[in-house]
Amino acid sequence: MSVSIKTPQEIEKMRIAGRLTSEVLDYIGPFVKAGVTTNELDRLCHDLIVNEQQAIPAPLNYAPGGHTPYPKSICTSINHQICHGVPSDKVLKNGDIVNLDITVIKNGYHGDSSRMFYVGEPSIQARRLCETTYQAMWRGINQVKPGAYLGDIGYAIQSFVEPLGYSVVREFCGHGIGAKFHEEPQVLHYGRPKTGLKLEAGMIFTIEPMINAGKKEIKQLNDGWTVVTRDHSLSAQYEHTILVTDTGFEVLTVSAGTPPPP
Ligand code: MF3
Ligand code: CO
Ligand code: CO
């Protein structure tokens, strides 16, 4: 297993890619309303990334081993969809919760971040799931410092959400990121303290817990991408790209509209 330590020059490029990624999320938020289609959200983000940011939407045509190329520029995962929801002509309706996952490549480096958005007023249960998932991501982020272990991150997330009756998706995890979209290490959102890789300054990876209101089991849809909860319970996810610094961490996917830590 080889986890790269980024150079100061690479870190500066990752800051730029991270900011652009977060700015796409800032921009698209006001468009997430009842009546809009996820294809329209995809087109708006695509045009901003390509025309204004002069960057590349990493998901478009992304084809990791065994997958058919991803056909769109962003991921839009609604309600019981866990991740990799493919934009379509489906219309968002009042009460939906939707995860928008953005990955931008700028000057050869990737930023990767996602947030939950409410379409109108969510149910109390849906809001609580989203807020808990946001707190869970931050509990993970707050573990990050040199000498800490990846297992500390997973444990912080799992031990927070499971007593609330929620479950952690096992099949997808955070990941190293840099010149490649998905690099080592894998960042599990469950685990035991003081296990796994020891963190060092200069590592960059995502923390992106997928939390289900019901059971943890997943189902892969026939489009080859969309992943849903097997029991059709609601699912939520937040994601940031994180740098390990000498003293702790730096969130790279930040912009004017980034939600503050809980
Ligand atoms: N952005 C996702 C992640 O956080 C990966 C999406 S792959 C795609 O790792 F092809 F579906 F876009
Ligand atoms: Co990611
Ligand atoms: Co992502």
Homologous superfamily (CATH) of 8-251 is Creatinase/methionine aminopeptidase superfamily (3.90.230.10)
Q: Is 239 in the pocket of ligand 1 (CB under 6 A)?
A: yes
CA of 255 to the centre of ligand 3 (A): 16
Q: Which of 75, 104, 239 has most ligand 1 atoms within 8 Å of its beta carbon, as the pocket-test mutant?
A: 75
Q: Which residues surround ligand 2, an ion (CB under 5 A)?
A: 112, 206
Give the pLDDT confidence score for residue 194 in this predicted structure.
98
Average pLDDT over residues 236-253: 99
pLDDT reading at 1 higher than 70: no
Q: What residues does each domain of the chain span?
A: 8-251
State the Cα–Cα distance between residues 127 and 99, nearest whole angstrom.
Answer: 13
Q: Is 172 in the pocket of ligand 1 (CB under 6 A)?
A: no
Q: Is 181 in the pocket of ligand 1 (CB under 6 A)?
A: no
Average pLDDT over residues 248-260: 98
State the Cα–Cα distance between residues 87 and 6, nearest whole angstrom.
Answer: 33
Return the DSSP state at 239: B
Give the pLDDT confidence score for residue 66 in this predicted structure.
83
pTM of the model: 0.98
Nearest ligand 1 atom to alpha carbon 101: 1
Ligand nearest to the CA of 74: 1
What tokens does 130 get?
């989203």
| Residue 3, SS3 per DSSP | coil
Question: Model confidence over 68-121: pLDDT tens digits?
Answer: 999 999 999 999 999 999 999 999 999 999 999 999 999 999 999 999 999 999
Question: What is the rounded average pLDDT for all residues in the chain?
Answer: 98
31 vs 27, 38, 45, 119, 219, CA distance in Å? 8, 10, 10, 10, 29
What tokens does 123 get?
């149910």
Beta bridge partners of 250: 243
Q: Is 23 in the pocket of ligand 1 (CB under 6 A)?
A: no
pLDDT reading at 170 higher than 90: yes
